[in-house]
């Protein structure tokens, strides 16, 4: 019987069963973890289905409602509450518009509010603001120092037109 045990590669020493001699160094009964495999496969299937569904139907598609910028101008504001306000082209340093005390209501008030926001945020007052006319006709005023952006059309067409005039104004 001892010869049979040796021929088959098994031994009865101390009640332990050894692997056949031809499989030494390999794990016995090794299986790939099937549950994680099916979980990943299911996740990939759902992901691909969602992408195809979104592409075909357009649901979930992100679009920029403003489109591309049509006109951009960087401006610097000088003046104060009891002083005339001058709007300067940031690149040339020349005056675009000037508002004496008591005039330029919305432009003056907006710039005063933005200046206060810069003061509170402790950012540099000399950093220019950016006026942008978008493809859809919207006018925005961005504070390049803090990243804040105001869509000026929300304040009415007349107020947006006051800033649009600064985009189209010739340097004085």
pLDDT tens per residue, range 70-94:
888 998 887 766 788 888 888 888 8
Residue 40's pLDDT band (cuts 50, 70, 90): very high
Residues 110, 40, single domain; the answer is: no
Query: 129-134 and 139-143 as β-strands: parallel, antiparallel, unpaired?
Result: antiparallel
Residue 10's pLDDT band (cuts 50, 70, 90): low
Query: Beta partners for 87?
Result: 77, 97
Reported as type and span, the H/E element at residue 37 is helix 34-57
Please give the pLDDT value at position 163: 86
- Domain-embedded: residue 146: yes
- Domain-embedded: residue 11: no
Query: Minimal CA–CA distance to 172: which of 106, 79, 98?
Result: 98
Residues 73, 158, single domain; the answer is: yes
Residues 74, 45, single domain; the answer is: no
**Helix pair angle (105-121, 157-168), 10° resolution:** 80
Domain that holds residue 114: 69-168
Please give the pLDDT value at position 42: 97
Residues 43, 73, single domain; the answer is: no
Please state whether the predicted TM-score (pTM) of the whole model is above 0.85.
Answer: no
Structurally, the chain folds into a number of domains equal to 2
Residues 146, 75, single domain; the answer is: yes
- Domain-embedded: residue 29: no
Residues 102, 161, single domain; the answer is: yes
- Domain-embedded: residue 8: no
Residues 50, 95, single domain; the answer is: no
């Amino acid at each position: 019987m001892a010869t049979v045990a040796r021929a088959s590669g098994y031994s009865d020493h101390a009640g332990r069963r050894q692997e056949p001699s031809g499989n030494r160094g390999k794990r016995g009964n090794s299986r790939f973890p099937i549950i994680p495999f099916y979980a990943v496969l299911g996740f990939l299937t759902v992901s691909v289905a969602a992408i195809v569904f979104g592409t075909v139907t357009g649901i979930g598609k992100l679009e920029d409602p403003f489109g591309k910028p049509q006109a951009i101008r960087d401006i610097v504001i000088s003046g104060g509450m009891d002083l005339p306000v001058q709007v300067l082209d940031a690149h040339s340093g020349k005056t675009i518009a000037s508002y004496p005390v008591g005039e330029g209501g919305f432009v003056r008030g907006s710039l005063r509010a933005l200046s206060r926001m810069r003061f509170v945020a402790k950012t540099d007052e000399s950093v220019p603001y950016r006026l942008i006319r978008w493809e859809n006709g919207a006018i925005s005023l961005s504070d390049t120092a803090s990243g804040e952006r105001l869509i000026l059309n929300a304040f009415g067409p007349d107020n947006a037109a006051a800033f649009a005039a600064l985009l189209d104004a010739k340097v004085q």
